[in-house]
Amino acid sequence: MDALAWVFARYWGYLALALAIFGLVTHHFGFMAILILSLAAFGYFLVFAPVWCCAVTRTGQLCRDNSRGLLLGCHRRQHRWQRVKQTFTPAGGRAVLAAAKSASGLLALVGGVVAGVQVLIATGGLVLH
């Protein structure tokens, strides 16, 4: 049970995304529940999902240390600051795409895009109903 709790604590955003997709496809949840689940999943992929750091090092290569989320850097203070600054520049988009070179980064990127689209769909459904 302890291992299951660890997996849930680390990967809860994927469960929220799966529930939001299930609710959207089967119409078992209302748009408000889908919106809440999608926003939670979107936030998870931006700041909690385990991915590579991908900040540019002094040698010009990408850092391969573990990071949390697509927008945050690794344990190095300079990398965290670099990723925060890159969020608002074209280099930030390249860093997010570079994080997708790993399997976990690709899953986080695809999950973030799907969650973002679901947020738009659920918001549109709330506005139209």
As for how many domains the chain has, the answer is: 1
Nearest in space to 50 (alpha carbons), one of 63, 67, 37: 67
Q: Which residue range(s) make up the domain with 47?
A: 2-128
Distances (CA, A) of 22 to 26, 33, 114: 6, 11, 13
Question: Helices 103-128 and 2-26 meet at what angle, rounded to 10?
Answer: 40
Structure tokens at 102: 């790993």
Could you tell me how far CA 54 lies from the centroid of its own chain? 15
The pLDDT, as a whole number, for residue 22 is 96
pLDDT at position 9, please? 81
How would you write the pLDDT of the chain (129 residues) with one tens digit per residue?
588 888 888 899 999 999 999 999 999 999 999 999 999 999 999 899 988 887 888 888 888 888 888 788 888 888 888 877 776 777 667 767 777 778 888 898 899 999 999 999 999 999 997
Give residue 68's pLDDT. Answer: 84
Q: Would you state the pLDDT for residue 91?
A: 67
Cα dihedral 23/24/26/29 (nearest 10): 40
Instruction: Give me 103's structure tokens.
Output: 């399997």
